[in-house]
Amino acid sequence: MNRLPNRAELMDRKEPDGSLPRKIGRWYRTHRRRLPWRETKDPYKIWVSEVMLQQTTVNAVIPYYVRWLELFPDIQALARAPLRRVLKAWEGLGYYQRARNLHQAARTICRKHGGSIPAEFEEFIALPGVGPYIAAAVLSLAFDKPYPVLDANVRRVGMRLYGFQGKANARADAVLLARIRGIFPVENGADFNQALMELGALICRPKNPGCLLCPVQSFCRAYQSGEQEVIPAPKSRSFQQIETVVGIISDQGKYLIQQRPAQGLLAGLWEFPGGKREKGETLREALRREIKEELGVEVRRERLLLKLRHAYTRFQVELFVFECELDRSPLPRSPNRRWVGLRALKRYPFPSGSAQIVRFLEDRDSEKQKRVSVGP
Ligand code: ADE
């Protein structure tokens, strides 16, 4: 699918829409946003940005990206870092497997490729977490190889331009990629890719597209037929609703946290004990059952501390957080369980629901401190 056309083939090609890339390119040069990853050709930095930008918006990514490069300025620094620091730097971005893969890939590159990111498609795509999108994006943006990228923005632009009906799917993607390959410019392919993404983000938006400002309006089938807002047809998305109970257990200023298993959902992250409410249970029954199952002890008293909502992957989670007093029995020891003070909690990577709880505990603690220092 991704054999590189050679220069002669590129030059030889008939380009019926030859002015389309030129128009998009001109528009891009005047309207593009100055994003930090567009100011570099360093493949590591571009790679980090592309991995972060999968499933996350540009504005949400920028602060993470800047901080990441302070912590791990190059592939060697990332490879040397312990996984916990890597996950901590990713905390809040979600889809943590992306961070684990990037870390693993950095180690592979240092071990097998002398610390240089491979510029060949087959070698690069063999690394953990690198799929066709990341490979095309990094190799085109950093090494100027003529691979078209197809992310959600480009897909929308392409489907509208060429008037593809229906939902996005793998077959439509393959046809679209072939069409884009057919008009891919001989020079400045990196800018062409960026320009298509930028057009999708700024003009060819999912809702209320700015067709009157679009540089390629005259080429656009969807605009001509007035279908720009119905292409692509919306995906059928179903979110599973989950109610979760969480127990905050403290002893002499330390809180009990535990690590999730190394495989599966949110693998390796830390959290407060708790779990899903089962059908027919009250929240308090669910809390008592979960604590008994996980820690082997009874909850003596509990008090609802806060309610939180957050969404990830396909789940919409409502968290009911209880402060718990346990029965006297000492907790059995376990290697994946720790008592941690508030300050040190900051060093542990948590899923975003638990991270919100940590912030709540910090705020509560600093309120207490203020009251103590002001006095009665
Ligand atoms: N989304 C994915 N890649 C991007 C990039 N390089 N610039 C802006 N948004 C993006």
Digit-coded pLDDT (tens) for 95-109: 899 999 999 999 999
* Distance of CA 38 from the midpoint of ligand 1 (Å): 9
End-to-end CA distance of the chain: 73
Cα 145 versus chain centre, distance:
25
Per-residue pLDDT band at 13 (split at 50, 70, 90): very low
CATH superfamily of 240-374: Nucleoside Triphosphate Pyrophosphohydrolase (3.90.79.10)
- CB of 58 within 6 A of ligand 1: the answer is yes
List, by residue number, the catalytic residues. 50
pTM for this predicted structure: 0.81
Per-residue pLDDT band at 80 (split at 50, 70, 90): very high
Across the range 106-133, mean pLDDT stands at 97
* Distance of CA 109 from the midpoint of ligand 1 (Å): 24
Atom of ligand 1 lying closest to residue 201 CA:
9
CB-CB contact of 211 with 221 (8 Å):
no
- CB of 290 within 6 A of ligand 1: the answer is no
Digit-coded pLDDT (tens) for 228-249: 999 999 887 788 899 999 999 9
- The residue whose CB lies within 8 Å of the most ligand 1 atoms, and thus the one to mutate among 54, 149, 151, 193, is 151
Which residue from 172, 153, 168, 158 is spatially nearest to 219, judged by alpha carbons? 158
Q: Please tell me the distance from the alpha carbon of residue 20 to that of residue 63, in angstroms, as a whole number.
A: 34
Residue 15 has pLDDT above 60, yes or no: no
User: Using CA positions, which residue lies closest to atom 3 of ligand 1?
Assistant: 50
Residue 2 has pLDDT above 60, yes or no: no
Cα 152 versus chain centre, distance:
14
CATH superfamily of 9-225: Hypothetical protein; domain 2 (1.10.340.30)
User: Are both 9-225 and 240-374 of the same fold?
Assistant: no
* Distance of CA 300 from the midpoint of ligand 1 (Å): 51
Domain limits, the chain: 9-225, 240-374
* Distance of CA 283 from the midpoint of ligand 1 (Å): 42
- CB of 151 within 6 A of ligand 1: the answer is yes
4 DSSP assignment: P
Give the pLDDT score at 369. Answer: 76
Alpha helices in 219-259 (DSSP H): 221-225
CB-CB contact of 159 with 150 (8 Å):
no
Phi, psi of 140 (to 5 degrees): -80, -45
Question: What is the average pLDDT score of the chain?
Answer: 91
CB-CB contact of 274 with 245 (8 Å):
yes
